[in-house]
A = this chain, B = another copy of it.
Amino acid sequence: MEPFEVQILGCGSAKPSTRHNTSSQLVSLRSKLFMVDCGEGTQQQMARYHASYARLGHIFISHLHGDHCFGLIGLISTLGMLGRGHAQSLHIHSLPELEGLLRPQIDYFCREMPYEVVFHPFSYDHAEIIYNDRSLTVQTVTLAHRIPCCGFVFREKPTPRHLRRDMIDAYEIPISHRGLIKNGADFVTPEGDVIPNERLTTPPTPPRSYAYLCDTAPTETVVPFIEGVDVLYHDATFATSDEGRAQATHHSTAAQAAAIAARAGVGKLVLGHFSGRYDDERPLLDEALAVFPNTVLAREGMKIEVNKNCE
């Protein structure tokens, strides 16, 4: 099975702290690398964790607060310096306003850059699939923040059934038939016997899914969109003791994040977007664990495997 992995580059909130970087993470599936949010210092975090600049093709920006996008211009500039060629465009998915804010800087600072930056604007007020390739879709989910803000759900597409080597050999099934059988067809022998597909194959690996819901007040409206995802990264800026502050700033407490995870029946919850006021996020973890047992704290550099029944 191809690895489906999330790596945290930054899981702090807006104010600079020495504990955390501002928001960014990498989602890796097969040979493709996606970025979600790009706070200041993201390119240096990529260097620190030896992430591949070359594989990065698409960046999804959840909302236009600086701690989620101020790292874009530096990353765009660096990709040019590292020799990214004209054949490899960089795609940025965000609110339409972002291009107007970034394009003048790209034109000025990166005028000798050989590759192109392509902006893909989308509306934040309804859920839609904004990315779709052979193996993956990315869908937006409208969140409840001070400004238009969305989450992203990465869903692997269903994969074919697995051929049973022993049966392929026993029935001497020609290569030309195998694709159909992977997709569920039965096999008819030269003698006219019908061999049902279930004898020839094992079930496909269930498609995996990951949801990123950062910068949001707790909101039930997200539940149908993230139901049963394998891994959920959720805003947990504050502890319950600071719930008033969470409400005022349209963020969530760790316990609220866990309640959403429980309601949506996700596999695993990753808490993130920590306020700089905490020197230790253990109390946030504890309050979430009381509500949803399979919870971990995000930390910079951490890799999370996206699998069924994530441990």
Interface residues of A, Cβ cutoff 8 Å to B? 14-18, 21, 40-41, 43-44, 46-48, 64-66, 70-71, 73-74, 77-78, 81-82, 97, 100-101, 104-105, 108-109
Contacts and interface: CB of A to CB of B under 8 A. Distances in A.
A66 B74 contact: yes
27 contacts: A14-B78, A15-B81, A15-B82, A16-B44, A16-B46, A16-B47, A16-B78, A18-B44, A18-B47, A18-B48, A21-B44, A40-B40, A40-B41, A40-B43, A41-B41, A41-B44, A65-B109, A66-B74, A66-B77, A70-B73, A70-B74, A70-B77, A97-B108, A101-B104, A101-B105, A101-B108, A104-B104
A1 to B, nearest CB: 32
Given A40-B43, A44-B40, A104-B104, A14 B81 contact: yes
A181 B78 CA distance: 59
A18 B47 CA distance: 6
A64 B108 contact: yes
A210 B44 CA distance: 30
Nearest to A20: B44
Given A66-B109, A70-B74, 19 more contacts: A14-B77, A14-B81, A15-B78, A16-B43, A16-B44, A17-B47, A18-B48, A40-B40, A40-B41, A40-B43, A40-B44, A40-B74, A41-B44, A65-B109, A66-B73, A70-B73, A101-B104, A101-B105, A101-B108
A68 to B, nearest CB: 11
Contacts of A73: 66, 70
Contacts of A64: 108-109
A215 to B, nearest CB: 14
Tell which of A40, A47, A78 has the most Cβ of chain B within 10 Å: A40
A113 to B, nearest CB: 11
Tell which of A17, A48, A66, A97 has the most Cβ of chain B within 10 Å: A66
A14 B110 CA distance: 13
Nearest to A48: B18
A10 to B, nearest CB: 10
A72 to B, nearest CB: 10
Contacts of A48: 18
Contacts of A43: 16, 40
Contacts of A18: 44, 47-48
Tell which of A15, A41, A64, A104 has the most Cβ of chain B within 10 Å: A41
A47 B17 CA distance: 6
A94 to B, nearest CB: 13
Nearest to A104: B101
A20 B119 CA distance: 31
Contacts of A15: 78, 81-82
A46 B109 CA distance: 25
A41 B71 CA distance: 9
